[in-house]
């Protein structure tokens, strides 16, 4: 039987491995559903965590200041945005495009 908390932890572990070439430090904080990934590259950082459904949230930071959550529908999109942020993109470039639903 699949354990949702074990699957979530494995997702965070895989995310940390994927981000290794782009970070100066990174670790998983917390336990169970409250776990999140904290990564840093120089003065830029991000917290990355699941939204309790199927999406992922990044909360970018400059120094110690969190700048506001940005939600993504998949972990892959969240990690791609995290890499862009860590390499210097502007905060407004992290917002996913809005699509019109008819």
Give the pLDDT score at 14. 97
What residues does 62 pair with on adjacent strands? 44, 65
DSSP H or E segment with residue 47: strand 44-50
Residues in the chain: 102
The pLDDT confidence band at residue 97, using thresholds 50, 70 and 90, is: low
Q: What does the pLDDT look like over 22-57, one tens digit per residue? A: 999 999 999 877 899 999 999 999 999 998 887 899
Q: Rounded CA gap, 54 and 72, in Å?
A: 9
Read off the pTM: 0.89
């Amino acid at each position: 039987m699949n354990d949702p908390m074990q699957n979530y932890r494995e997702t965070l572990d895989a995310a940390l491995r994927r981000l290794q070439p782009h970070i100066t430090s990174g670790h998983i904080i917390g336990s169970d559903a409250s776990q999140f990934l904290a990564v840093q590259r120089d003065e830029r950082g991000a917290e990355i965590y699941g939204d309790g459904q199927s999406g992922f949230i990044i909360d970018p930071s400059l120094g110690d200041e969190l700048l506001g959550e940005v939600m993504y529908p998949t972990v892959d999109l969240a990690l791609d945005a995290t890499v862009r942020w860590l390499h210097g993109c502007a905060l407004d470039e992290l917002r996913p495009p809005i699509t019109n639903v008819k």
